[in-house]
């Protein structure tokens, strides 16, 4: 399961309900630890509908300027980021009802933090094979959130990159091979472990 940003709490909720669905984790700036929350993220999570100015604070993040800033903050060279990402985000945010859905998710984000301890316990119980790739300069989820995973899954592989929240936008050539290698190594090992005596491994030839 690949978890990133809001996909992390969604993914962990699925994992709680159906642990049998989860063969392993690839975590990319998908936070599940309080130390992985920046001061800005903590202030954002503390917003409530009745807080004066709270709705406008969230809506400001959904403007073209706000969305682009989420892509570029923490990136050494913003010219590396193609505009397609934030342009598509902005298009879909402009569809009917999308901003209201984002507001609802934002005001409910505290419910994810309240489940962090349960998710840590799930990781310790199930110990899924895990690869962590993380943009260290993420304005929402800084690098301590990546390191924190190692408390509960000490065998996880951790790779930090000098970039922001959307690490794949600037470091795809570095991260994609890590994911491919992790998948090949992890599931080749698992396939070998479950083979019966006298059976031979089968699958695509990866030697060429």
Q: What is the pLDDT of residues 44-68, one digit of tens each?
A: 999 999 999 999 999 999 999 999 9
Cβ–Cβ < 8 Å for 4, 28: yes
pLDDT at residue 156 is higher than 60: yes
What's the mean pLDDT in 112-131? 98
Question: Distance between terminal CA atoms of the chain?
Answer: 28
Task: Assess whether pLDDT exceeds 60 at residue 90.
Answer: yes
pLDDT, position 188: 80
Q: Is 63 left (phi over 0), alpha (psi -120 to 50) or beta?
A: beta
DSSP symbol at 2:
E
Q: Is 165 a catalytic residue?
A: yes
CA 55 to chain centre: 25
The active-site residue, picked from 147, 159, 165, 171, is: 165
Q: Does the domain spanning 2-194 belong to CATH 3.40.50.1820?
A: yes
* pTM exceeds 0.85: yes
């Amino acid at each position: 399961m690949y978890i990133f940003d809001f996909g992390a709490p969604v993914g962990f909720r699925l994992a709680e309900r159906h642990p049998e669905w989860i063969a392993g984790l690839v975590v990319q700036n998908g936070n599940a630890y309080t130390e992985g929350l920046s001061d800005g993220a903590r202030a954002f999570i503390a917003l409530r509908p009745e807080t004066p100015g709270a709705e406008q604070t969230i809506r400001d993040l959904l403007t073209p300027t706000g969305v682009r800033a989420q892509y570029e903050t923490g990136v050494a060279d913003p010219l590396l980021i193609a505009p397609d990402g934030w342009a598509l985000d902005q298009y879909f945010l402009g569809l009917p009802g999308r901003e209201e859905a984002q507001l609802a998710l934002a005001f409910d984000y505290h419910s994810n933090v309240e489940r962090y301890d349960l998710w840590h316990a799930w990781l310790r119980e199930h110990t899924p094979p895990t690869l962590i790739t993380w943009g260290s300069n993420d304005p929402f989820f800084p690098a301590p959130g990546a390191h924190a995973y190692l408390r509960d899954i000490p065998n996880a592989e951790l790779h930090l990159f000098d970039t922001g929240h959307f690490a794949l936008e600037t470091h795809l050539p570095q991260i994609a091979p890590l994911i491919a290698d992790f998948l090949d190594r992890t599931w080749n090992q698992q396939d070998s472990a479950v083979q019966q005596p006298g059976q031979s491994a089968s699958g695509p030839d990866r030697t060429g």
